[in-house]
Amino acid sequence: MSQPLDGLSRRGFLARGLGACTASTLLASGAAGTLFGCRPREESARASGGSPDGARVVAYVSVDDVVARSALAACTAATGIEIDAVFDTEATKTTGLERRILAERTRPRADLFWSSEGFSVERLRREGALQPFSQALRASWPARHADLDGHWLAFSARARVVAFAPDRGTTPIASWTDLAKPALARGSRAAVAIADPRFGSTRGHLAALEWAWRDARGRGVAVPTLVEWLDGLRTNGVLVLTGGNAATVEAVATGEVAYGLTDTDDVFAAQERGLAVSLCVPRTLPEGVEGGGTMIFPNTVALVGPSEGREAARAAAERVAAWLISPEAEELLCGLRAWRSLPLGPQANCDPGFREADPLRFDLLASIDSADSIAVAAKERLERAAEKGA
C-alpha cells in the first residue's frame, strides 16, 4: 500500500520527491489490462451518491485524453453520470483550461475541473472561480490532501523527472543542478530539452526550483540561483520545445538531446510505445538536506462556480469528484501502464513503480505568485540560448 503524502494544503504544500536518483527502465512488456471493467467497491458507490438517471456533467480535463477517457468511462459505469469532457492541447493543457474557466467565470460552462497539477486550481481558488465541496465529501478525504477551505482535492500524484536513453550511452544524473554542468551533451545536438516554460508542469517546476534554491541559500546550502542554472543549460545547449513534455521525451529517444525535463507519465507513455527511454529522479538539494528530493505533484479536482441555478449539475459533479478520489479510481490510474500515478488515498493498493523517500518542500502560494514572471523570463533567456546555438 502506498504511503500517504503529507502537507498538500496551501501554505504548507509539500511536493513529494522520489528519493535518490536511480535509472528506472520499466520497459513495457505486453499490453495494459482493461482496468475500467472492474466492478466498483460498495463504499465508493455509496460515496458517489448512486446512479441518477439523466445526470450529466461538463468536465474540463488537463490530463492526457487517453488516460482521462478510461477513467471517466469507468466513472460513468459506476455512477450512471454522463460526462462531457473538454480537453486542451498538450502544449498548453492546464494553463489553457485555467484561462478558459476565468474567461467564463460569470457564465461557467464547466461543472468540474480535473487538473493534472495543483498550481492552476489554487490560482482559480484565489480568483474566486471555484466552489467548495460539501462538508461530507471533504470529511471523507485526508485533510493533508485538500485545500484548507475544501475548494479542491488532491489525488494520484506524478513526479518531475529527467528522461535519458541508456542505449545511447547516456547515464542518469543525481541532481537537477547536474544539468547545468559543462560537457553534458555527449555528441547530441544539445544537452537538454525543455517544454515551453510558460505552461504546465514545467511552469510550476521552475517556480518551485526558484523558491527551493533561494530558501536553501538562505540557510547556507550551496545551490545555484535559477538564473545561474538556466545559464548553465544555455552553455550546454538547450532546446525549448512547443510540443510539451512528451516532445522532450521524443527528443531524447531520437538522440536529438541527451536529457529531457519531463514528468513520469510522459516517460511511461513513451515506453509503452516501444521507445528505449528511462527516467531518472534527481534531487533538488544536496544529499543530507531534508526536503530536497524532486517535485511530486498531484492531480486535483474542483467544482467550477458559481453554483446558483446549477444545483443538479453541481451535485452530479461532486459525485464524479467523489469517484475520482475513490480507491477504484486511484488504482485504475496507478495501473495504467502509460500513466502509473502514485495513489494518495489510504485505501488504494497499487504499486506505481516508483517510490518517494525525501520530498521537495516548497511554498505553493509564493511559487504561484512568482510563476508568471519566472516563466516569461525563463522562456526569453532560453530562447536567446537557442538563437545563440543556431
Residue 11 burial (10 A CB sphere; 0-12, 13-18, 19+): exposed
Q: Which residues pair with 192 in a beta bridge?
A: 238, 259
**Residue 265 dihedral angles phi and psi, to the nearest 5°:** -65, -30
pLDDT at 351: 86
Note down the domain range covering 175.
159-294+363-389
Domain assignment present for residue 30? The answer is no
pLDDT at 1: 37
**Number of structural domains the chain divides into:** 2
Helix (H, G, I), strand (E, B) or coil at 207: helix
Assess whether 238 and 283 both reside in one domain. Answer: yes
Assess whether 172 and 283 both reside in one domain. Answer: yes
pLDDT at 363: 93
pLDDT (tens, 9 = 90+) of the chain, 390 residues, equals: 333 333 333 333 333 332 333 333 222 222 222 222 222 333 333 344 444 456 999 999 999 889 999 999 999 999 999 999 999 865 555 678 999 999 999 999 999 999 999 999 999 999 999 999 999 999 999 999 999 999 999 999 999 999 999 999 899 999 999 999 886 755 566 899 999 999 989 999 999 999 999 999 999 999 999 999 999 999 999 999 999 999 999 999 999 999 999 999 999 999 999 999 999 999 999 999 999 999 999 999 999 988 788 899 999 999 999 999 999 999 999 999 999 999 999 999 998 877 767 889 999 889 999 999 999 999 999 987 555 444
Closest by Cα among 97, 32, 36, 7 to 265 = 32
The CA distance from 200 to 69, in Å, is 20
* Phi-psi map region of 197: left, alpha, beta (phi>0 left; psi -120 to 50 alpha): alpha
What count of Cα atoms within 13 Å lies in the side-chain half-sphere of residue 183?
0
Domain assignment present for residue 33? The answer is no
Q: Which residues pair with 194 in a beta bridge?
A: 240
Assess whether 240 and 209 both reside in one domain. Answer: yes
Assess whether 74 and 150 both reside in one domain. Answer: yes
Domain assignment present for residue 239? The answer is yes
The CA distance from 40 to 21, in Å, is 36
Domain assignment present for residue 21? The answer is no
Closest by Cα among 115, 101, 109 to 56 = 109
pLDDT at 260: 98
Q: For residue 353, give the amino acid letter.
A: G
Determine how β-strand 56-61 pairs with β-strand 82-87: parallel
Assess whether 168 and 252 both reside in one domain. Answer: yes
The CA distance from 117 to 94, in Å, is 8
Assess whether 242 and 290 both reside in one domain. Answer: yes
pLDDT at 2: 33
CATH number at residue 282: 3.40.190.10
Sequence-ordered list of residues with C-beta below 8 angstroms from that of 78, at least 6 positions apart, any chain: 40, 44, 45, 48, 323, 328
